[in-house]
Amino acid sequence: MKRDNTIECERFFPYKNDEELELLYQDDWFCVVFGTAEDMNKKSIGIRWIIDKKGDKNPKGYPYERYVRLPWYFSEGFLQTILVNKNPSGQVICKSENIEEAIKYFKNLKD
């Protein structure tokens, strides 16, 4: 998997069948996806680590071959945090139109 938002991301449970799954963020530790889970009609945010329990790199990640879903009411705040977070040298970690679109989606759910 490349590290940009233009390519496919790993499709693990519960997003295995979502053909429009979007990679919103990925670094050396974890990735964040936006898609429709198999048991839901609405989109959600999924997170998985790209390391195993010991902290070693592992493409299967942790939890093993699956994403942990965030409840929709946490998703907007979580994504806002990714956009404003900075690395130790003060640079913004992530700038993504995909994240901004996902934030709009969750704002509309509130209304």
- Which regions in the chain score pLDDT beneath 50? 1-7
Locus of tokens 């996806």: 33
Give the global pTM.
0.81
Angstrom distance (rounded) from CA 80 to CA 96: 11
Q: For residue 6, what pLDDT is reported?
A: 38
CB-count exposure of residue 85 (10 Å: 0-12, 13-18, 19+): exposed
Q: For residue 70, what pLDDT is reported?
A: 93
